[in-house]
Amino acid sequence: MQRLDVTGLPDGPSAAAAAFYGTWLERVQALLAKGALALVFAPAGHEHTAWRLSAVQTLARDQAPVRINAVASDDPAAIAETLAYLAGADGVTGQYLPL
């Protein structure tokens, strides 16, 4: 499973969503063309949950059967453990997992 760390997003949820789609979407789609992908976001408040989940779910539907999931954490061990699980969980896609 490929990994993409999504960085440099603004603090506000609307601005962060706009930046994700404007800056990261093409790269995400290019990586998905090569196979399963995990997005790694920095932790953020609950106000970011809706746009992040929507983005991942929409990409999962658009790119099926290729899998995409996302995690949010700043704990390298937790991220590694979760990504290892997701790599072997062939039926899991379109999930946003704040760790």
pLDDT interval class at 49 (50, 70, 90): very high
pLDDT tens digits, one per residue of 68-88: 999 999 999 999 999 999 999
Give the C-alpha separation, 53 to 62, whole Å.
Answer: 14
CB proximity list for 95: less than 8 A, separation 6 or greater = 56, 69, 70
Strand partners, 38: 3, 69
pTM for the model? 0.96
| Rounded percentage of the chain residues whose pLDDT exceeds 70 | 100
Q: Quick one: pLDDT at residue 9?
A: 97
- The whole-number average pLDDT for the span 41-66 is 97
pLDDT interval class at 40 (50, 70, 90): very high
CA-CA-CA-CA torsion for 21, 43, 97, 68, nearest 10 degrees?
A: 30
Give the C-alpha separation, 20 to 59, whole Å.
Answer: 13
pLDDT interval class at 90 (50, 70, 90): very high
Q: Quick one: pLDDT at residue 22?
A: 97
